[in-house]
Amino acid sequence: MGKKRIAVQTKEELLKEKEKIEQKLRKDIKAPKKAKEGRLYISSSYNNTILTLTDPKGNVLYWTSAGAIGFKGTKKGTPFAASKAAEAMAVAIKKLKIEKIDIFVKGIGGGRESAIRQLGAQDLNITSITDVTPIPHNGCQPRKPRRV
């Protein structure tokens, strides 16, 4: 086995990457309807974290994900990427002037906790947090015995 090498980035590369991520956080958000309440769905898997903001009827107002912000590969499934996506969502919620939010969390990825923590730290009025992860009750039926 060869030597393990640690990738060291210079300050310029880190600043460039940070600028790139912050630029994607600030993309234009259009408010199609005036909704004072919203539902935020967080779908967290091992590969990505997707956040979707809807009005109470279910019409999508804004969505973002760790991949849409600029993370690639296995970095999309990290808690850091999920917190950055949640930060982008918080900016969108403030621009859309939504007052109350119900959060629905689905999935078992690493980003679910950090996304909720980041949203809580952004001074948003969160009314409820619900876990809607599907759970199998009894599973599949076993195969019948083979007849010879």
Query: Can you name the residues that pair with 131 across neighbouring β-strands?
Result: 105
15 within some domain: no
pLDDT of 70-124, one tens digit each?
A: 899 988 999 999 999 999 999 999 988 999 999 999 999 888 899 999 999 988 9
117 within some domain: yes
16 within some domain: no
- Could you tell me the residue range of the domain that residue 68 belongs to? 34-131
121 within some domain: yes
Torsion sign, CA atoms 120, 22, 8, 44? positive
Residue 9 has pLDDT above 80, yes or no: no
Of 136, 102, 111, nearest in space to 44 by CA: 111
147 within some domain: no
Q: Crossing angle for the helix pair 11-25 and 79-96, nearest 10 degrees?
A: 40
Of 6-10, 19-23, 63-67, which one has max mean pLDDT?
63-67
Torsion sign, CA atoms 90, 111, 70, 7? positive
68 within some domain: yes
Furthest-apart CA pair in the chain: how many Å?
71
The pTM is what? 0.74
Structural contact between residues 62 and 53, judged by C-beta atoms closer than 8 angstroms? yes
Domain count for the chain, please give it: 1
What are residue 72's phi and psi, to 5 degrees?
Answer: -125, 155
* CATH value at residue 117: 3.30.420.80
